[in-house]
Homo-oligomer: A and B are copies of this chain.
Amino acid sequence: MQKIPNYQNVIDAYERIKNQVKLTPILTSSSINKILNCNIFFKCENFQKVGAFKFRGASNAVLLLNNEELKNGVATHSSGNHAQALSLAAKLRGINAYIVMPNNSPKVKIEAVKSYGGKIIFCEPTLEAREKALEKVVSETGAEFIHPYNNFNIISGQGTSALELLREISDLDIVLAPVGGGGLISGTSIVCKSINKNIKVIAGEPKGAADAYQSFVARKIIPMINPKTIADGLRTSLGTLTFEIIKNNVDEIITVEENTIISAMKLIWERMKIIVEPSSAVPLAAIMENPDKFSNNKIGIILTGGNVDLQNIHF
């Protein structure tokens, strides 16, 4: 039986990482509230170090390594943000980070991993190729594999964003986050349900990568073979641990169209004057497609990251 993080694990993670991560601001937009007739508090993890919430989990995992594990460094596969996060967390502890990345990763993310000192191993953009390349690097270096989301310490770390959100805005009706591999929504749901079980926890997911939705409905893991979505952070499938948490804690998973993701992203850029990546816009897209469900509610949204290739954005 897998060990599942609880609220205290998130609080412990917060105390462990709080001097290393940014306390990110919570922003509001009166014009977006007016358009959608609700009251939204955006937790801005796009302002987090490395430009994404992933630095929280990676910091927690690296700070928990013992002396033996520290010797050979850490390794992972990641489409980008976890790669950057682990690279920086490793750098701050003075250890190596070996990063297996699909060769179609956004250029800005590849450059960022390099700038944080991560050692990149490229592979084909399939789960199989990733795992094979990772196995090879782990066996060659002895590095500790830190899974991007199906990992106890990663999930506890990702939960700290919702912890900060609810400590600042305590009376939320609903908390929304996107779901890819499920690390963020898992940590978020643990925090929300522990603080107040009446807070609805809702995940947003692109229709083109709806494995979490399908798994949630079927009550068993149904992996996605060939996900297609602009939200590059959400192309991964649930893990055993994140599925278990989501199954028990999340109230609903809402799938959204690609064009709504783009509209939501544009709305955030134009009205809030902040840069978020497509994955971040998925929860707002869920509200835009289901306005009645959210009308008049006080809603927290975790904006997951801001790492986009500006050259590739054409509204």
Residue ranges of A at the interface with B (Cβ–Cβ < 8 Å): 25, 27, 30, 46-47, 49, 51, 108, 266, 269-270, 272-276, 306, 310-311, 313-315
Contacts and interface: CB of A to CB of B under 8 A. Distances in A.
A51 B270 CA distance: 9
Contacts of A272: 47
A73 to B, nearest CB: 23
B311 A315 contact: yes
A312 to B, nearest CB: 10
B276 A274 contact: no
Given A108-B270, A274-B274, A275-B269, A310 B306 contact: no
B269 A46 contact: no
A306 B310 CA distance: 16
A310 B269 contact: yes
Taken together, the copies of this chain in the complex come to 2
Label chain A's interface by main secondary structure: helix
Closest 9 CB pairs of A and B: A273-B306, A273-B275, A310-B315, A46-B273, A274-B274, A311-B315, A25-B25, A47-B273, A269-B275
A185 to B, nearest CB: 22
Nearest to A47: B273
A30 B47 CA distance: 11
A270 B310 contact: yes
B315 A266 contact: no
7 contacts: A51-B273, A108-B270, A266-B310, A269-B275, A273-B274, A273-B275, A274-B274
A273 B280 CA distance: 13
**Chain B CB within 10 A, most for which of A27, A51, A266, A311:** A51
A274 B270 CA distance: 10
A255 to B, nearest CB: 26
Contacts of A313: 310
A263 to B, nearest CB: 12
Contacts of A314: 311
Given A46-B273, A47-B272, A274-B275, 9 more contacts: A25-B25, A51-B273, A266-B310, A269-B310, A273-B274, A273-B275, A273-B276, A274-B274, A310-B315
A161 to B, nearest CB: 15
A38 to B, nearest CB: 20
A79 to B, nearest CB: 18
A102 to B, nearest CB: 22
A315 to B, nearest CB: 4
**Chain B CB within 10 A, most for which of A47, A108, A273, A313:** A273
Contacts of A276: 273
Nearest to A45: B273
A22 to B, nearest CB: 9
Contacts of A274: 273-275
A9 B143 CA distance: 63
A236 B47 CA distance: 34
